Structures are given as structure tokens and as C-alpha cells.
Chain A
Amino acid sequence: MGIISSGFHGRRQTGNPALPPGQYETASFPVLTAGPAPRIPIGDWEFFISTEAGQRHAWSWDAFMALPQMDIHTDIHCVTSWSKLGTTWRGVSLDTLFENVETSSRFTMAHSYGGYTTNVPLPDLLGGRAWVAWEFDGEPLERAHGGPARLLVPHLYFWKSAKWINGIELTQDDVPGFWESNGYHIHGDPWREERYS
């Protein structure tokens, strides 16, 4: 146990098994980004997956919307310690998008419009654990929150759920992305409190 502050009582939220260590619940949806939000017209939007062999799979907005859509109910956990429980999203599973992609890579780099990057191991994107989401709480995803579409990898800290997602590059090695190069953990599992590098 650490240093005890006898005058500090706090507001107990522990005991909620949905909260990872060091997290508190918030009803709001804070916006955290490193710079201004880019503006991406739907007509210019595409989502790509590129492989180590140089293959490129790409979907226009219409092609993407024609894929099977899923409703996702999940908790999200930000590295700055807030968690938002029971959020609802709609989007396309990465399992669907990776269906015809041949690769032996074990790692990926997510690329966003505006230049943001974040690295995610491929197994963390598959098995019904990651989506490209375009709807939040029944409404089109706001630009401030990553619209038209963002990556949604809710079992990792939320900086891995790249806003304004443009595509996934398969990589041979686990290369640090933007926040991972700026002091944050290479993997980011909230249940292991993988916050900082």
C-alpha cells in the first residue's frame, strides 16, 4: 500500500468489476486528440488493408457500407483514467475486412487521415474484438470523435482505437506508432495497466 492521505476519502467506484485497475467511470465522452480534427468527405473516404507482399485491398464508403454491419455493445477505457461503460456502436468487424487477406504478418500499423498512427498486433484485431465503427449511440460518428469512421479496439486503451481511420498496414515487426513513440505503452492492455512505456 502506498502513502496514506488521512484527509482524503474519495468517492468509491471500486467494486465495479467492469472497471480495470486505476480507472474511474464517467458518463461523458471526453475528446482527446493530439491536433485538429481532419475533415474527410465521404466521397473521398476509403479504407485499405495492405500486406507485406504488396497487396492492397480497399473499400470505398459505399463498398464498406455494403459489408455485413454489426451492433457492438462495449466498455471503453482511456489511458487518462476514464472509462465509459455500456457504449453502443455500429460498424464492420475486422474479421470481415480481413476475410480475403493473405498474410503471415503478426503486427499491424493503423493509419489515420491527418497522419496519426498506432500499432496493434494482428491477433488483437481478429476474433470478434475489433471493428471499423461509423455510428455511436445510434448517430453517425461525430468528426471530433473520429467520424466518418474510427477503429474500435475496446479491449485495449482507447488511443489504439484510431480516429479518422484510413487503413491497416500489415508489418513484420511491432513498430511504435504515434503515442507509442511519445511515452505510451507498446501494447496498451487496460487490465494489465499497460499505460506508459
Chain B
Amino acid sequence: MSTLWRVADVVSSMPETETARTIGLRVNGLNGNLAGQHIDIRLTADDGYTVVRSYSVAGAGMDETLEITVDELANGEVSPYLVRELAVGDQLEIRGPVGGWFVWKPTDTNPVQLIAGGSGIVPLMAMIRAHHASENPAQFRLLYSLKSPESGFYREELQTLGQESRKLSIDYVYTRKAPKGWPTAPQRLTPETLLASILPTDPAPDIFICGQTVFVETVAEWLVQAGYPAASIKTERFGGTGGTR
């Protein structure tokens, strides 16, 4: 059924950062989604021209609604429309949710290490929310690499969860601008910082990495070199910026 296009109503639209927006959709007959899955969105211009893009779902629902968070790409064809123009009451078409690999299920029992670069937080947030809503006691740890405090998604919710949840801890790395009073200057993620900010190799956690290609490749490589089993590392990339070769 996931290959059929279905009409989605835009039921909410909230700015997430200066360039990103969280959009709530309601789809008749939708039967929830797994944490980490994505949907395809199809837009049709008035002359019939269509374009399709994939977006990670930010939650793991059981009903007819889902949320995505879209970051506007400077030269994007679709994201500027979704972030700047789309309004509550509009409709668009979706396909999915799809994906059975980069997903976390409440029946999974291993500790989980999440590593997000920028807007790569979206499918990982779905896992955090699903984990929080469940009775699952597994330890979750999030490492969130950000350009600046203002560029973070779900800031208040993550802050609250990080303070209140006994089964989730959060580490931040700021690459260009750190918050006031932050103990370290902004810097790119290094192997030392990475390894000091994640769950240890024993017991081996399930690791989910999402971000731009270079970030994901680099982090996955460091983890393998540090002894994390390659089979425990799942990766998802976005942005399509892989260089020209």
C-alpha cells in the first residue's frame, strides 16, 4: 500500500528555526509509522509539473497524523516552498511511510546511541519520542552536532527530556558558535570528542547516524576504528551533496 499516493491535509505549521519549519499532516487511512521512516512528498504546479522529495518523519504515531521538519536549502526546488509558502489548510500528496532498516522499534532491547548532524536530528527525534512514550527501559544517548544553538531543532523538548528522563542523555557539539558560557570553543567534531560523548562499546549499542554525507561517512569511520561493530551502525544521509564524484 505504501506505493500509492494519498492526499494529506496540512494541519499545522510551526517555525522550528530561522530556516526550518515543522509541518503536521493528516492522511485519511494512515496507520501510523515506525520511528525513523520517511515519506515522499509530491508537489504539482498548476501546469501539471510534478516533483518528489523524501522527508523523514519526526515522530512515530499510531494514527492518521504525522510531522515532518523541513530545512530550507538555499538552492532547493521544494524546501523553500514547504518552509515559506505552504500553509495550514493546504493539501499535498504523500507516499509511504517507507523504510524498514533505519528504524527503531519499542521491542528493541539494546542500548541506543543516536548521532545527529544538523537537520539529521529528524528521524532520530522520532526514535527519542517513541522511546520516551514506551515502557522500553533501554538507555538512549544522543550526540547532536550543531552549527549554533539557534540552529537546533526541538530545543525545548530536548532540553526537558534531557533533564527529566532517566533513560535519555544528550550531548551537544557546536561547530561555529557555542552558547554563552559553554566550556569549549566552537569546533568541528573530532574523534576524541565523539568517543567521549557516546555509549561505550560494551555492551555494544545500536548506533544510528544521520546527517550530511561527509558527516555520516566520517563519524561511521571513526566508530569502526574505535571498535564499534560495523553491523551495529546504521546510517542515513540527506542533502545530496556528495561532491561531483
Contact = CB atoms under 8 A, between A and B. Distances in A.
A33 interface: yes
Interface string B64-78: 000000000000011
Contacts of A139: 245
A53 interface: no
B99 A182 contact: yes
A34 B91 contact: no
Interface residues of A, number: 46
Contact of A30 (B49, B86, B99, B237): B237
Nearest to A182: B100
A144 B235 CA distance: 13
A36 B235 contact: yes
19 contacts: A5-B45, A5-B86, A5-B90, A8-B44, A9-B45, A10-B45, A10-B51, A30-B239, A31-B242, A33-B235, A34-B102, A34-B234, A34-B235, A35-B220, A36-B233, A36-B235, A183-B101, A196-B96, A196-B98
A127 interface: no
Nearest to A39: B224
A3 B93 contact: yes
A129 interface: no
Interface stretch (A20-28, A92-100, A149-157, A165-173): A20-28
Given A5-B90, A35-B233, A38-B230, A183 B50 contact: no
Contacts of A30: 213, 237, 239-242
B245 A1 contact: no
Nearest to B224: A36
Interface of A: 1-12, 14, 22, 24, 26-38, 80-82, 114-115, 136-137, 139, 142, 144, 178-179, 181-183, 195-197
B17 to A, nearest CB: 22
B95 A22 contact: no
A72 B120 CA distance: 35
B93 A27 contact: no
Contact of B234 (A6, A35, A82, A142): A35
